[in-house]
Amino acid sequence: MPLPTLITDFIALLFPQVCLACQEPLTRGEDHICTICRAQLPYTDYHRLPAAENPLARRFWGKLPVQHAFGYLRFQKQGRVQHLLHELKYRNQQEVGKVLGRWFGQELADAGYGPNFDLILPVPLHARRLAQRGYNQSDSFAEGLAAGLHCPWQPDGLRRITKTESQTRKSRLQRWQNVAEVFEVAQPELVAGRRILVVDDVLTTGATLEACAAVLLAAGATTVSVAAIATADR
Ligand SMILES: [Zn+2]
């Protein structure tokens, strides 16, 4: 039986839920992120641009045929987006990924992208890292996007097979090759003939999503698109 409003309001007064972006108490009806933050988050709106003008899509030019490249927010150090990503990645606040995924998925659907994808796959963590953290931060974003776009998602369609070596002293090409070796398609029958949307928390160089796209295309995916919660400059 649900508690009467008076009691839930009283509980909220004692233990206020705070906005995961700004830490201010939430009011009733707000969903993990307050109305002010929702209005003021630095949205890229890249999905509203023609493909040729989308700066994210350009990061893949001359490398792989990535059909669409989406990034919801612009990463800013010390800002709300960094705070949200920190909550998602290190403080088990998976609602951050779900809420942002749902909002963004809804926007993509409203912009007409809904019918473009057959399956959403998150970039996987290495099994060891997954065991340490207990969850993959990209899963919740995939789940939220799936709800917004009305498209299925699969948590284990991709697998990370070896740990990435230290990349600090490597050239760009070596770095790509290094990362490219670490993903494999876990269930090729899920991917062949399908239009896949691969999702990650942050897109910086695009190397990780590119490596995933490469193995998906090799496994027979019809098209591959990529999406990230936030995009950072290289
Ligand atoms: Zn807020």
Q: Residue 12 C-alpha to ligand 1 middle, in angstroms?
A: 17
Q: Residue 218 C-alpha to ligand 1 middle, in angstroms?
A: 42
User: The pTM is what?
Assistant: 0.86
Q: Residue 23 C-alpha to ligand 1 middle, in angstroms?
A: 6
Q: Nearest Cα to 88, choosing from 36, 25, 142?
A: 142
Q: Give the max Cα distance, the chain.
A: 61
Weakest mean pLDDT among 11-15, 42-46, 165-169, 198-202: 165-169
The string of pLDDT tens digits covering residues 91-125 is 999 999 999 999 999 999 999 998 999 999 999 99
Q: Residue 55 C-alpha to ligand 1 middle, in angstroms?
A: 28
The string of pLDDT tens digits covering residues 191-208 is 999 999 999 999 988 989
Decide yes or no: CATH 3.40.50.2020 for domain 41-231. Answer: yes
Residue 50: per-residue pLDDT: 87
Break the chain into its structural domains and give their ranges. Answer: 7-40, 41-231
Residue 180: per-residue pLDDT: 47
Q: Residue 35 C-alpha to ligand 1 middle, in angstroms?
A: 7
Q: Residue 88 C-alpha to ligand 1 middle, in angstroms?
A: 15
Distance separating the N- and C-terminal Cα atoms of the chain:
51
Beta bridge partners of 71: 228
Across the range 135-158, mean pLDDT stands at 97
**By the 8 A CB rule, do 68 and 226 touch?**
yes
